[in-house]
Amino acid sequence: MKKNKRTYVIVGITTLILIIVSLKTFNDLRERNIDDLISYKPTDFYSIGFTKDRNNIPVDRWSEWWTNDRKPADELIEFLSQYRVKKVNEEAFNDHLNKDSFEFTISNSDANPIIVHAVKGHVHILVGNYYEIVNGPIDIEWIRKYNEKHLKSYRE
């Protein structure tokens, strides 16, 4: 009788592990809205730094422009919310690195910063997750205009 009970317990635990792994894999590979992955909370907002051209970063700065005004962060997240993404590996992201990239960091008062690197068709949300834009590419012209507008206002 003990042997039968042990077998049922082992089969039950194995089945549970398989279900958990399957659900995690399904969740990782499904399409999602990009704003669901960027855990931006306007009430916790502290600052945003944005860079479109790494060669344009002043020597003593970490981004092209920076502000603690929440409006540019709201505007950027609203724009990005139209895009859906699917998880990919790092190589897929790296294969698409080019001049049409941008990055931003949103600092929060009560959480780790949100750091995003993006190219036309891919996004890297640090730490470690890479995504392909499935309904893109990202409108780089909008990004360029967004950067120019806020660069004039917030570059020190």
Spans of all domains in the chain: 1-30, 31-154
pTM: 0.80
Instruction: Supply the pLDDT for residue 2.
Output: 67
Is the torsion defined by CA of 8, 9, 15, 18 positive or negative? negative
**What is the 8-class DSSP label of residue 54?**
G
Which tens digit of pLDDT belongs to each residue from 40-51?
999 999 999 999
How far apart (Å, rounded) are the C-alpha atoms in residues 64 and 33?
27
